[in-house]
């Protein structure tokens, strides 16, 4: 009887290990654009240093929850990451104006995997150098990316003490183009490219955006109502 009980305990333990491993494997599966079920998924954004805008697929931030919402009529999918999650997760080490970030909203074409748009806006706090003195100011920005066009960046330069990489759109001398990568259903990887427009003290800067590189994945067994997304704000 004792041997039978011991065998049963081993069998149960093995079943638990298999179940956990299977759930972990499913959780890591790439986002399925063709699944029509609204649900929570996850996303990890590429997090290379800001002075290396051309560095790809190297360092990723911790995963954030994202709400997946298909629109069958238009053959599109909308994926939203709560602005509060972007602030406290991805940009937790940045100085920013709390509550200023919009949801980071991605629109995918289901058939092609193209990112039709990915938009984010918010406000950072930056120390600007005015020569004889410096000052902390709000730096509102708007970022927009897509995989339908190629853009790039010029060599970095200092503007009011901030290192920026001006946007460029043609393969000319001094312009490093970054090819977009539409969503890959085998890996969950995507690289949408575009611009960041920032405004401060009467100056408008249009720079290259590295914010559109990410890996999207499914979350095992998570099919919840839309109200959960509002609760995450």
Domain identity same for 50 and 3:
no
Distance of CA 156 to the CA centre of its chain: 23
Domain identity same for 12 and 77:
no
Residue 132's pLDDT is 63
Number of domains comprising the chain: 2
Q: What's the average pLDDT block by block, 10 residues per block, for the chain (233 residues)?
A: 44 37 55 97 90 85 96 94 95 89 98 98 82 76 97 84 85 90 97 92 86 93 50 51
Domain identity same for 218 and 162:
yes
What is the model's pTM? 0.80
Domain identity same for 92 and 46:
yes
Residue 8's pLDDT is 41
Residues 29 and 218 sit within 8 Å (Cβ to Cβ): yes
Domain identity same for 5 and 94:
no
Residue 63's pLDDT is 94
Q: How would you classify the pairing of strands 151-153 and 167-168?
A: antiparallel
The residue range of the domain holding 2 is 1-29
Sign of CA dihedral 123, 96, 118, 66: negative
Domain identity same for 23 and 121:
no
Phi-psi region of 151 (alpha: psi -120 to 50; beta: other; left: phi over 0): beta
Residues 113 and 180 sit within 8 Å (Cβ to Cβ): no
The CA–CA distances, whole Å, from 153 to 197, 204, 214 equal 14, 16, 19
Query: How far apart (Å, rounded) are the C-alpha atoms in residues 1 and 52?
Result: 65
Residue holding tokens 């991605």? 106
């Amino acid at each position: 009887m004792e041997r039978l009980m011991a065998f049963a305990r081993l069998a149960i333990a093995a079943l638990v290990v298999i179940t956990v491993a299977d759930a972990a494997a499913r959780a890591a599966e790439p986002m399925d654009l063709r699944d029509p079920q609204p649900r929570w998924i996850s996303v990890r954004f590429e997090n290379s240093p800001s002075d290396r805008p051309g560095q790809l697929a190297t360092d990723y931030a911790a995963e954030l929850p994202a709400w997946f919402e298909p629109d069958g009529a238009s053959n599109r999918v909308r994926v939203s990451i709560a602005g509060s999650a972007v602030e406290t997760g991805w940009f937790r080490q940045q100085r920013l104006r709390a509550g200023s970030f919009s949801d980071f909203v991605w629109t995918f074409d289901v058939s092609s995997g193209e990112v039709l748009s990915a938009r984010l806006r918010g406000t950072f706090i930056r120390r600007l150098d005015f020569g004889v003195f410096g000052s902390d100011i709000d730096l509102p920005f708007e970022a927009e990316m897509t995989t339908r066009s190629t853009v790039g960046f010029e060599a970095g330069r200092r503007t009011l003490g901030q290192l920026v990489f001006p946007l460029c759109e043609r393969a000319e001398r001094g312009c490093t183009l970054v090819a977009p990568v539409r969503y890959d259903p085998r890996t969950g990887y995507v690289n949408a490219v575009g611009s960041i427009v920032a405004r401060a003290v009467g100056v408008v800067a249009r720079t290259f955006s590295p914010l559109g590189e990410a890996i999207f994945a499914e979350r095992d067994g998570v099919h919840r109502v839309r109200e959960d997304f509002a609760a995450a704000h």
